[in-house]
Amino acid sequence: MLAQHSTVSLVRPCFLSGSQVVLKIIKHYQEEGQGSEVVQGVLLGLVVEDRLEITNCFPFPQHTEEDADFDEVQYQMEMMRSLRHVNIDHLHVGWYQSTFYGSFVSRALLDSQFSYQHAIEESVVLIYDPIKTAQGSLSLKAYRLTPKLMEICKEKDFSAEGLKKAAVGYENMFEEVPIVIKNSHLISVLLWELEEKSTVPSKHELLSLSSSSHLEKSLQMLMDRVDDMSQDIVKFNTFSRNTSKQQQQKHQYIQRRQQENTQRQSRGEPPLPEEDISKMFKPPQPPPRMDTLLIAGQINTYCQTVKEFTSQNLGKLFMAEALQGHNS
């Protein structure tokens, strides 16, 4: 799902110019996205040579049943037109989404990202994990579809043969783009000012040891996904069993036919017409492979996050041991 480490360095990083993008995303989730709802928004910026620079963003309102007639496209158009007046880049270069415990691999994401990437090659989707951020470190990741996956989406060929042809596995679906934050001098001055004036003590959430509830939740989601996966596998097994049974039946039918024909010939009667076999034995529908791929990708992300989490916790535990050792 994520490209291997050796290739990440080859992927050119995308730049976040100025801190307002990060802060706006954080604020948007904080105000509008309590609970497991997903908040989304659009990223604006420009493409410099082959590098992506994100300079601003604006949020999308939530979808509610009352505003069924709310026109999303119109909102976007109006917003961009207004922003153009104040010299803010109005080029859509991507979108952002918040995630709940790391679950974001879905068909909807794939489709949206494909349409963005089709228009602009460099566009990314920023995934912001607020719960992980609250634990101490800003969790903002940028993903892009691999060219192989783009090919498949373009041809809309999601069958097993299509996937096999393009050799897309769950590991080559998305590639992670490293993010670099760039600040101008004025913003640096602002940051100095904030540091001086700020009366809020810096939080050391990162070193807290009591984060087992987060681990529990992540594992629960992992288990759900694995259940989905096993259901999918069962479906596939039934399918392959059905196909092989059908093959056998076809064989038998053809053999019987041939036997009858030879018998009839020996008796001098005209042979029975060759019936269209494919019409008689309709091949069973192969289960969609794309969902399996997505589930596998999601399981992989969960596993990666859990492993990151456990490695951090191990480090913290060893630190606690050192502290205790000095005491006793």
Minimum CB distance to another protein smaller for 196 or for 274: 196
* Local structure of 287: helix, strand or coil: coil
CB of 166 to another protein, least distance (A): 11
What's the farthest any 2 CA atoms get from each other in the chain?
Answer: 107
Site for another protein in 241-300 (CB under 8 A): 289, 292-293, 296, 299-300
Nearer to another protein, 81 or 118 (CB): 81
Nearer to another protein, 134 or 280 (CB): 134
Report in angstroms how near the CB of residue 23 gets to another protein at its nearest: 4
Nearby residues of 240 by Cβ (< 8 Å), 6 or more positions away: none
Percent helix, strand and coil across the chain, each to the nearest 5: 55, 15, 30
Task: Report the C-alpha gap between 218 and 100 in whole angstroms.
Answer: 10
Number of Cβ within a 10 Å radius of residue 126: 24
**Residue 254 beta carbon to another protein: minimum distance, rounded to whole angstroms:** 29
Between 50 and 276, whose beta carbon lies closer to another protein?
A: 50
Binding residue for another protein (CB under 8 A) from 4, 9, 266, 324? 324
Q: Phi first, then psi: give them for residue 2, nearest 5 degrees.
A: -95, 140
Q: Is 146 in the site for another protein (CB under 8 A)?
A: no
Token digits of residue 108: 């909807």
Map the footprint of another protein across residues 81-140, applying CB under 8 A.
82, 85-88, 130, 133-134, 136-138, 140
- Phi and psi at residue 51, to the nearest 5°: -110, 145
Residues 45 and 169: their CA atoms lie apart, in Å, by 31
Q: Which is nearer to another protein, 90 or 257 (CB)?
A: 90
Q: Is the Cβ of residue 207 or residue 272 nearer to another protein in the bound state?
A: 207
Window 294-323: residues binding another protein (CB under 8 A): 296, 299-300, 302-303, 306-308, 310-317, 319-321, 323
Question: Could you say whether residue 22 binds another protein (CB under 8 A)?
Answer: yes
Closest to another protein by CB, 119 vs 233, is: 233
Q: Name the β-bridge partners of 126.
A: 96, 142
Cβ atoms 104, 173 nearer than 8 A:
no
Stretch that binds another protein, among 14-22, 46-54, 111-119, 267-275 (CB under 8 A): 14-22
Contact status: 191 vs another protein (CB under 8 A): yes
User: By C-alpha distance, which of 229, 222, 204, 228 is closest to 307?
Assistant: 222
Q: DSSP for 93-153, please give it.
A: EEEEEE-BTTB--SHHHHHHHHHHHHH-TT-EEEEE-HHHHHTTS--EEEEEE-HHHHHHH
Among 207, 234, 277, 280, binds another protein (CB under 8 A): 207
Q: Is 8 in the site for another protein (CB under 8 A)?
A: no
